[in-house]
Amino acid sequence: MTEHPISLTVNGAATRAWVEPRTSLGDFLREDRRLTGLHLACEHGVCGACNVYVDGALSRSCTVLAVACEDLEVATIEAFDDDALMAALRQAFSRAHALQCGYCTPGMLMSARDIVTRFPDADEATIRRELAGNLCRCTGYAGIVRAILDVVQSGAGHRLATPVAAPQPAHGAPAPDSLHPRQAMPASPPEAASAAEPAALDMAAPVDTAGMTRVSRHFDLPVPADRVWDFFGDLPRVSRCMPGMEVEHVEGDRLRGKMTVKAGPIRAVFDAQAHVTRDPAARRGTVHCRGVDRITRTQVVCELGYALADAASDATSVRIDAAFRLAGRLAEFSRADVVQALADQLTARFAANVAHQLTQGDQAPAGAPPDGGELRLPLALLARQFVSTLAARAWRVLRRQPTQRPRNEDES
């Protein structure tokens, strides 16, 4: 399988490597970085043994793809060797006999630190609720809850809690320049943007559309094709017609902004970058874009092509062909029925907004379109998908169950 380069910060050390797209963050950290304090157990995001911090937020490393952590900061249990709050928790766990086999303990300590940091005055009910995502087969949880409660009551959450933003490198952490042995990665240029401001897209190489989800849509506009072509060349105006899009910066044929998509209770805000190429002779254009939502750690890579044709003397037919790939927690929503619903909503609202902008003429060239709100996936559709997923998983489990052999009468 093709490997991809990634650049991220692991326990305070700049880390660059080559990984397969399917590699989880947990496998990458254990197998590539040799950070074996992180334990993998269920590998379904249920047990919490693989907890790490990603950009300061507690995350399951088994359900996050390594390629989705581009430009993010990751901290494992090794990063907290000298952390005062973690030291207080380790001592409390020892006093309260809050561990037996110890397999779940690293992930439990990561959750405990998160609880004490977010709830410095937590009571027992709050601690038990927040620990619901961590499983322990040994202790019965009483000692764990008591240990965390002791640290809370000591006031350590107020005195010792520090944000997990730039952890110090753990002992034995890989050197920043430790790369995949098969290929060296070019060094970042001195003028590279900071993590707070995503670097410009490198469009020297085209987007690899192999295996991407594809959708095609078309719509007609009651405006001559020449006017539509000129309008599509005005990136600020076109981007304002995209539902959920908020442009922050435009320079030539590149733009940067935020794209908001709401899927039921989940709201994702993608830091998005795009680069546009146009062919005036054929009246075709292509938009190469990439985005990352730093809350769900979801990345999207997209190639969107558009083509204009004369529908009549004063009308234009617009065809949109899009290919995209999701990686991360929201990749579940890239299923066919959800994609089609999203494509229909996006196309209809974009067409209405473009028509509104064009029919306004020069009266309000910078005016906002009437429908610029976030994209919303229907909750009923998501519910159907969730139920069908559960049913499919249940069926696979039932098929794996061994058939019970009937007992012979002479068997005791």
Q: Which residue has the higher pLDDT, 391 or 318?
A: 318
CA distance 25 to 9: 12
Whole-model pTM: value is: 0.44
Torsion of CA 254, 219, 335, 372, to 10 degrees: 60
CA distance 143 to 89: 12
Q: Where are the domains of the chain?
A: 1-174, 213-387
CA distance 217 to 340: 10
- pLDDT, one tens digit per residue, over 150-203 is 999 988 877 776 766 544 433 333 333 333 333 333 333 333 333 333 333 343
CA distance 263 to 330: 9
The helix/strand/coil state of 243 is coil
Range list of H helices, 52-173: 84-95, 105-118, 124-130, 142-153, 156-160
Q: Which residue has the higher pLDDT, 84 or 351?
A: 84
Q: Which residue has the higher pLDDT, 153 or 382?
A: 153
Contact 225, 316 (CB under 8 A): yes
Mean pLDDT in residue range 378-398: 54
Structure tokens at 122: 């937590």
pLDDT-derived band of residue 402, with 50, 70 and 90 as boundaries? low
What percentage of the chain reaches a pLDDT higher than 90?
28
User: Was domain 213-387 assigned CATH 3.30.530.20?
Assistant: yes
pLDDT of residue 222: 86
CA distance 329 to 283: 37
Of the ranges 179-188, 218-227, 250-259, which one carries the lowest mean pLDDT score? 179-188
Please name which of 312, 268, 310 lies closest in space to residue 291, comparing C-alpha atoms.
268
Select 1-174's CATH number: 3.90.1150.10, 3.10.20.30, 3.90.79.10, 3.30.1330.40: 3.10.20.30
Of the ranges 47-56, 85-94, 100-109, 365-374, which one carries the lowest mean pLDDT score? 365-374
Mean pLDDT in residue range 322-344: 65
- pLDDT, one tens digit per residue, over 36-72 is 999 999 888 889 999 999 988 899 999 899 999 999 9
What percentage of the chain reaches a pLDDT higher than 70?
68
